[in-house]
Chain A
Amino acid sequence: MKIKDIMDPSPNLIRTSDTFEHLIKILDEVKYHVVFVVDKEDKLVGIVTEGDIIKVLIPKYIRVDESLISVMDANYFERKCRENRNLTINNIMSTTTFTVSEEDTIIKAAALMVVNKIHTLPVIRGGKVVGIIPRLTLIKHITKVLSVY
């Protein structure tokens, strides 16, 4: 079977120029808690996951010295939320995006997820996002396969 047979054809998109605040608003409505980032020509340029959002609010020096967590201000998280209200998506997104096409096999999507430790793949046609394959879709497909045989 191919990707087009199982993909969800309604991915959630956001533009690089959109803000953090806008992202949080639409994240409430999206199905998989992942949005794909597109440029002016609707071409895929990145992905924003829940991990990327939380990363924005955590100081990067913590990655070098975890011991500083113990002395951080109790209201740091809330302060950073407010400070980053107008931060644009290009400062939040991850740019390394693995993709599949509609004609690719399901095993390719599954293998990409395992090898690269990712949860969601965008389905691309001519650089534009036409669908989404989350891990959940693969699990649903497994259920279907087992019920048939």
Chain B
Amino acid sequence: MVFWIATTIFIISYGLIVSEKLDKTKVALIGAGLMMILKIVSQHEAFYHEKYAIDYNVIFLLIGMMIIVNILSKTGIFQFLAIKSAKLAKGKPFLILIYFTCITAILSALLDNVTTVLLLVPVTLFTADELELDPFPFLISEVMAANIGGTATLIGDPPNIMIASKVQLTFMDFIYHTAPAVFFIFAFFLLTIKFLFGRKLQVREELSQKILAIDEYKLIKNSNLLKKSLCVLGMVILGFITHGIFHYEPATIAIFGAAVLLIISKEDPHQVLRELEWPTLFFFIGLFIIVGGVVKVGLLSKLSEGMISLTKPSAENMFFTAITTLWFSALSSAIVDNIPFVASMIPLVTDTAHAVLPPGMDVRSVIQHSTLMPVWWSLALGACLGGNGTPVGASANVITIGLSEKAGYPISFKKFLVYAIPITMETIIISNIYIWLRYYIFVKILVSPQGIYQ
């Protein structure tokens, strides 16, 4: 009975989130409330249990980074970088497109995708307007780059944060495993945009000269604040790089960095905290409790049985599980929000591992087992990159389309899909090849049979 109640709450919540009939934060919170009121999970379990509770690592990492980005965004550095790069490109539109795309990818890897596009889209529209060009090639390339760049690091995209927290992975694990994939994906992506837009982007010399005449330093609003913000951001990134060595969780580093920046920047904390993405944070909180409920009643263990019979994983080889996870995650993330999807997939993959791997191993050895790791990387790549597939696949897409429409350049659902589907397919195919070559071909040649993680 409890099983069916929990499953019903999960399915209805998921359905309402997908349909967008009700605000997703409201849905997640009412679903979580029902899970606790109906005692499927007790409040203690929802708040403190190792397996069923809210993942505070994710929540506080997001809060910390949101505070740092909020203060950094007030300095004008994003707009400065864009104009500086446009001048370095000598006002040549295609080169500007490439530079903007690279800046978006790098900033998205280090900060959050939504803030990156929120700050770069207006300056992109400005540049396109100055060059008297249609901004669409710039906007579509940037939004795709934001999602690709975000895939590279632990902090780049929420799915990575969630996977890292549950699987106890470090920042450097992502640098070693998803970042190389992103490097190849991004290289092919740049070739693709060259093929798609290279010839279209031509302007008269006088328009290029206009870009060169812009004084980009006027965009820096507060250079003192900028120095402090960059200093803290640098230290935080250094903290992420070394957190595995010093045994700190990423959330500790992000919150500490945010606190230091709040103090040295002298910004009003009330103002900064008011501007955080609270609906997103409460969406996470609600979702964790809902997923905790269905994990507790065993729904995800049952689903993992289906996954096992479908992909036939073994303690020695999970190739088909990894590839199925990659494609299924990409498809799902293109259609639905990747956050609830990944929140459900993590316990599903964990249960699969527990069922397949030899009994008697401790939890960490199971979730970080060498045969299981490619499945986690597939989940990260599929869930992050799949977000590019449709206009609603990722928050960055929704924000870019919204801003573009507000600025008088509406991007239709169909026009977005025409570019997004082939690019997403390309990125997933490259991911597929990467997973296959790196973990199933080269690993046999390069690494001892004991595996790479043990």
Contact = CB atoms under 8 A, between A and B. Distances in A.
A and B assemble together:
yes
A70 B407 contact: no
Interface in A30-67: 59-65, 67
A59 B406 contact: no
A60 B83 CA distance: 19
Given A68-B79, A68-B126, A60 B215 contact: no
A59 B407 contact: yes
Interface string B95-127: 000000000000000000000000101110110
Contacts of B216: 71
A129 to B, nearest CB: 29
A60 B406 contact: yes
B219 A67 contact: yes
B346 to A, nearest CB: 36
Contact of B122 (A61, A70, A73): A61
A73 B221 contact: no
A129 B407 CA distance: 32
B190 to A, nearest CB: 25
A73 B130 contact: yes
Interface in B384-407: 403, 406-407
A63 B406 CA distance: 9
Given A61-B407, A64-B122, A65-B119, A71 B214 contact: yes
A135 to B, nearest CB: 30
Contacts of B121: 61, 64
Interface of B is mostly: helix
A64 B215 contact: no
Interface of A is mostly: helix
Nearest to B83: A71
Contact of B407 (A64, A71, A72): A64
Interface string A62-90: 11110110111100000000000000000
A65 B122 contact: yes
A64 B76 CA distance: 13
B218 interface: yes
Contacts of A65: 79, 119, 122-123
A70 B210 contact: no
Contacts of B125: 59, 61
B237 to A, nearest CB: 25
Contacts of B129: 59, 61
B449 interface: no
B359 interface: no
B408 interface: yes
Nearest to A70: B218
A137 to B, nearest CB: 35
A67 B82 CA distance: 13
Contacts of A63: 406
A70 B123 CA distance: 12
A71 B126 CA distance: 9
Interface in A81-105: none
Contacts of A61: 121-122, 125-126, 129, 403, 407
Interface in B113-162: 119, 121-123, 125-126, 129-130
A64 B219 contact: no
A64 B130 contact: no
A47 to B, nearest CB: 20
A60 B79 contact: no
B68 to A, nearest CB: 20
Nearest to B409: A60
B406 A70 contact: no
Given A71-B214, A71-B216, A71-B219, A59 B79 contact: no
Contacts of A68: 79, 122-123, 126, 219
> Of A60, A70, A71, A73, which is in contact with the most chain B CB atoms at under 10 Å from its CB?
A71
A23 B60 CA distance: 56
Nearest to A79: B132
B219 A70 contact: yes
A73 B79 contact: no
A73 to B, nearest CB: 6
Closest CB pairs A-B (n = 4)? A65-B122, A61-B125, A60-B407, A70-B218
Interface of B: 76, 79, 83, 119, 121-123, 125-126, 129-130, 210, 214-216, 218-219, 221, 403, 406-408
Given A65-B122, A67-B221, A68-B122, 13 more contacts: A59-B125, A60-B406, A61-B126, A61-B129, A61-B407, A64-B122, A64-B403, A65-B119, A65-B123, A68-B79, A68-B123, A71-B219, A73-B210
